Structure 1
Amino acid sequence: MFPFLKTLSRTVHEVHEEHHEEDYLSDETSYKSLTVWRKSLVLSCNGFTVIDSDGDLVYRVDNYSGHPSEVILMDGCGNIKFTLCRRKKKLRLVDNWLIYQEGDNDNSSAISEKHPSFVARKQINHMLQQNANVLAHVYAETSSNKGLAYVIEGSYAHRSCKIYEKSRKVVAEIKRKEASMGGEGVSFGLDVFVLVIRPGFDQGMAMAIVLLLDQMFS
């Protein structure tokens, strides 16, 4: 669809697979690796373009304002997969981010009338917590599953984060791309990074968490 995406994807993924082969292939299971480009394909928009190892567009985000109150994650065909909304409350130091999944309360067309699948909170009291690497917590809000679902640790500013299930199993990672190719140093900067997703974890949810971190820390 977009030839330059295939070139970008091939460059990033070849380096990624060479550099991290020992870390991930030792599990004897396949993992999903997506290239995340912090840029919209639509002119005059901010957003994200996400491609797989074949250079195919799998997700996109097109924001018409710099700091939108609502962020929509779409697949490559433009279908909505997740919607993130920031909920501000008076007299509260920490805002909540509501994560709506495609299909949440389909009988209602307005986001305000739907029930979110997840609620996320940014961690701010780093000096008071046992693990100072924690960035945010994500809580499940479905009728069949409530309570802590994921913990995100690391540094989004450095594109180095791990997403843990409540069992402390790593289900996804955000990695910055810096590599040596042809004897010369190549830096992809902060706007191009890799999202590694472990088998069994929904890649759409992993990308929704990336958007969440970008809203919280950019």
Structure 2
Amino acid sequence: MAKVHPNAVVPEPATTSSSSGSGRAAVSPAEDQEPTVLTVWRKSLLFNCDGFTVFDARGNLAFRVDCYAASRRRAEVVLMDVAGKPLLTIRRKKLSLAEHWVIYDGDAAAAAKANPLLSVRRHVSLGASKALARITPLASSISAEAYVVEGSYGRRACAVRDARGEALAEVRRKESVGNDVFKLVADPRLGAPLAMGLVIALDEMFGGAGASAWWLLRRTWSA
């Protein structure tokens, strides 16, 4: 797997966590910044963990997700930096008919008052539709307009688009390495941490057993 993580070093588990992340700060970059291109590996570098390992364009570790719970029905997932500091908490909304996740700044479990950034709700349609999910900004630091995710996450070919149809983040296939390794292109208007947070939410909605259960539910409704 040298092509996947050329400069990777297995990180030590974090001993402490911070309630202040950097996800919110990533949504107000300079306008002249170029999109960030990341390589996402759907695997944790820690033994016996599920999650993600994310590398920048130089092959260095950028983000990590280490989930000790193997269940596809996780209540929340934490996006961390290389040192294990929580950047974002992606939490499942309870008692929601459709899949609904909220992305919070930092470690939402440790914060006295969680700061929500984005709401990600799975698009429900019994007919043909390109939309996978609807994204609603919840923080004043993010644009007030809603976003839509279109395409196919399972095929690693989808994009987060604004009301004008411009892509703020794109998931693209990476040649000859299968579905567990793919590219993530993040526009500076959204930022790399939030783009990765959306990937985590999409993976929970459309990956593994969760996707199969949703397909069976839609089939039941259509019958």
Over aligned residue pairs, what C-alpha RMSD do you find?
2.7
Q: Is the 8 A contact 1:138 1:148 kept in 2?
A: no
Inter-partner Cα distance in structure 1 for 2:158 and 2:198 = 11
Inter-partner Cα distance in structure 2 for 1:55 and 1:43 = 21
Q: Is the 8 A contact 1:117 1:140 kept in 2?
A: yes
Partner SS state of residue 92, structure 2: strand
The structure with higher relative contact order (CA 8 Å, sep 6+) is 2
Within the alignment, does 1:109 sit opposite 2:110 as a pair?
A: yes
Letter in 1 for 2:171: I
TM-score, reference length from structure 1: 0.74
Which of 168, 192, 197 is the matching residue for 1:208? 197
Residue 43 to residue 198, structure 1, CA distance change in 2 (3 Å): same
Partner SS state of residue 124, structure 2: coil
Within the alignment, does 1:86 sit opposite 2:83 as a pair?
A: no
Q: Is the 8 A contact 1:137 1:148 kept in 2?
A: no
Letter in 2 for 1:195: L
Larger radius of gyration: 1
Q: Is the 8 A contact 1:35 1:194 kept in 2?
A: yes
Between the two proteins, the alignment pairs up a number of residues equal to 181
Q: Which runs of 5+ in 1 are unaligned?
A: 9-27, 179-186
Q: Is the 8 A contact 2:51 2:65 kept in 1?
A: yes
Q: Is the 8 A contact 1:118 1:139 kept in 2?
A: yes
Within the alignment, does 1:171 sit opposite 2:168 as a pair?
A: yes
Greater fraction helix: 1
Q: Which runs of 5+ in 2 are unaligned?
A: 9-31, 208-223
Inter-partner Cα distance in structure 2 for 1:198 and 1:115 = 22
Measured after TM superposition, the shift of residue 141 of structure 1 is 1.5
Residue 145 to residue 40, structure 1, CA distance change in 2 (3 Å): closer
TM-score, reference length from structure 2: 0.72
Greater fraction strand: 1
Measured after TM superposition, the shift of residue 126 of structure 1 is 4.5
